[in-house]
Structure 1
């Protein structure tokens, strides 16, 4: 019970936007003042909180208030795609302190790719200016089928990755543990934490084009399904998403910045009224609409978030998708662009790294 009470107090302080008074803590935790004082003594001793001055009411002593110290622990994240690896270091509030990117020399060679991931994360740690000892955990995001232990079950066009556990490889290179998951799943986690899906317990995060993926959140948890394949509906031949791999607008989700730039120029032409560019967008929308209709009729999420680069075209893409849903008689599920840009996956990985060691971070005494 002591540990549970400590966890409740810890999380209340961590998620607060401002220092909390003793009265706010006892009210928020529904614990006695004495219990909260004992927990705060542990958290103060371990550096998780500090006591701060607040304005006096003019009557008696000013209330005691406590602020969380988000940089008492840092978390690391690594995002791997077919073109590059990005590594970042953040505090417990998800504020990114540093990030580094490396262009991959051979994505199809797991050993070489993970060596470059280690190099990128080492560089990010140096750039953060903080000692590696304050990093408590890391997470790695990969495309493909990843089970809940971080094992790669399958990766389209890259069978050499099957059976590799990237989180275990990275954990051997750093003095902190790693977890791993699919990148679309982690993008959904990041979106719920910091992005367009804040406050929602259920929604779907989607990208399509040169890369395809879906992260499905139901009742606050990523829905993995059998062999972690729930979001891989985008790979089903019947929905035709493979048509988008080589489509000019598929470059919106391409990991190579030059390919993305080419696709973004087409979007600009659509905005300027270019008929040929608009036709290309209509071609691109059709298979994407088919997978959306399937998701809406089966999962019926209260929100669909477009990310991975699709957000760049949201103003011209979303109306077409809404029209397609209406033409099918499907529920009018809201469609929004990610508010996190290219950081959704990295933020989701940071969140999962933090979640993986929440209990250990408390170090509450039994």
Structure 2
């Protein structure tokens, strides 16, 4: 693991290093003169900082651009952030699959890999599949495990700050599982565990349907719907990490369970899984009257769940993911019904990232952690890039 600075450098040098590094990450390769102009620092200061960042492996000299019209005689040295100095992982662990995304320190995706899972597989088997999927992706990408700087994980359930799953009804053996601790044994780097809907909200805000919107709600439709929300661009977890657990609202009326809502026979669907839901929605599109009634009941329940969040948070945008993503007939009824229930109707749209949302959000959480370390001005003992788990 590369550290930004070594020993005990002065506060001023840390500030200067963070300023120069940030300038290089946000732009094309820059010359020393351009860095002086961009940062406002003196040339000797910039030269000293570049030397230190180069020694740390975070900055390298860029090749000359043969198409540069300013090129006359010997070209000026240009420097760039070395994004390939380390790597990040984003991992989705869901009832039906494990999905992993690999990226460099700039967030550029280098590869993806996944495996399907049986819903009832025990926790140890599921974790072993996570390790195997990661190992296969690293091997395919030619990336050494030792270059991992941080790992983000998105998983169903209420997640505590240390990565322990406080409660999860979606995965067998998941409640009480010290997920962060178990995975850190394999990765030897910070592992950040987050609720899957929260991770998806972060992803949509970063590179999906919510780019440019800082007050959003992401709804993960499913057997037990969940939601993640950003307020002022910051993820809102709640006091105990349980914000957005709208799946518990059906407890107010036992007849409002998804198994009953989506039934086309009058008896609860057993089992109810994603395939069964897709069948009901397809029958509704084909005109089946019982299926249409079932979909209407499901949408009404979803509207009530979403309306509760909209009335409490007043978001600019609601993004619908999970089962509803790609299923026709959900979006417009939601818009229509929310306009009846809410004082101010938010914009409503489907997820732009679809099945990639959770893993992408987990990757963004890992990237946030690394950026926090790279641009930290003051680093108390034990908080450097290799210091272990943080949220």
Give the TM-score normalised by the residue count of structure 1: 0.83
1:38 aligns with: 48
SS of residue paired to 1:148? coil
Instruction: State the shift of 1:63 in Å.
Output: 6.1
- Contact 2:156/2:170, CA 8 A, preserved across alignment: no
- Residues 272-326 of structure 1: per-residue CA shift (max 9 Å, x gap): 666655443322210111122111111001111111242213x632211111012
In the TM superposition, 1:134-213 aligns within 5 A as 134-156=147-169, 160-213=173-226
Distance change (3 Å), C-alpha of 1:302 and 1:139:
same
Distance 1:360 1:28 in 2: 22
SS of aligned partner of 1:226 = coil
Shift of 1:246: 6.2
| Structure 2 residue 319 is the aligned partner of structure 1 residue 308 | no
Question: Following the alignment from structure 1 to structure 2, what is the Cα–Cα distance between the partners of residues 106 and 280?
Answer: 24
Query: Which residue among 226, 244, 247 is the counterpart of 2:258?
Result: 244
Distance 1:264 1:15 in 2: 43
Distance 1:95 1:210, change over 3 A: farther
Equivalent in 327, 341, 355 of residue 328 of structure 1: 341
Alignment length, in residue pairs? 356
Structure ID, larger Rg:
2
Q: Give the equivalent residue in structure 2 for 1:252.
A: none
Q: Which residue of 2 aligns with 1:8?
A: 19
Contact kept, 8 Å, 1:309 with 1:341, in 2: the verdict is no
Q: Which moved more, 1:66-75 or 1:293-302?
A: 66-75
* SS of residue matched to 2:200: helix
Unaligned runs of 5+ in 2: 1-11, 264-271, 380-391
**Which structure is higher in helix share?**
1
Offset at residue 5 of structure 1 (A): 3.1
CA distance in 1, matches of 2:256, 2:160: 23
Range with greater deviation from structure 2 (63-72 or 141-150)? 63-72
**Structure-1 residue corresponding to 2:298:** 284
Q: CA RMSD in A?
A: 3.3
Pick one of 86, 102, 109 that aligns with 1:73. 86
Per-residue deviation, 1:211: 4.3
Does the C-alpha gap of structure 1 residues 151 and 69 become closer, same or farther in structure 2, counting only changes over 3 Å? same
Classify 1:220/1:30 alpha carbon distance in 2 versus 1 (closer, same or farther; 3 Å). Answer: farther
- Contact 1:140/1:166, CA 8 A, preserved across alignment: no
Give the match's secondary structure for 1:316: coil
For residue 230 of structure 1, report the CA deviation from its aligned partner: 1.0
Which of 276, 286, 293 is 2:307 aligned to? 293
CA offsets 1:54-98 (integer angstroms, 9 cap, x no match) = 523478986654333332211123221122222232222333323
Structure 1 contact 13–68 (Cα < 8 Å) conserved: yes
Q: What does residue range 93-108 of structure 1 map to in structure 2 within 5 Å?
A: 93-104=106-117, 107=120
Match of 1:111 in 2: 124
1:263 Cα shift?
4.1
Measure, in 1, the Cα distance between the counterparts of 2:205 and 2:129: 29
* Cα distance in 2 between the residues matched to 1:269 and 1:158: 29
Where in structure 1 are there 5+ consecutive unaligned residues? Answer: 250-257
Conserved in 1, the CA contact under 8 Å of 2:88 and 2:150?
A: yes
Q: Does 37-46 or 223-232 show the bigger shift?
A: 37-46
Q: Secondary structure at the match of 1:330?
A: coil
2:266: which partner in 1? none
1:282–1:147 CA distance, 2 compared to 1 (3 A): same
- Structure 1 residues 58 and 239, CA gap change in structure 2 (3 angstroms): farther
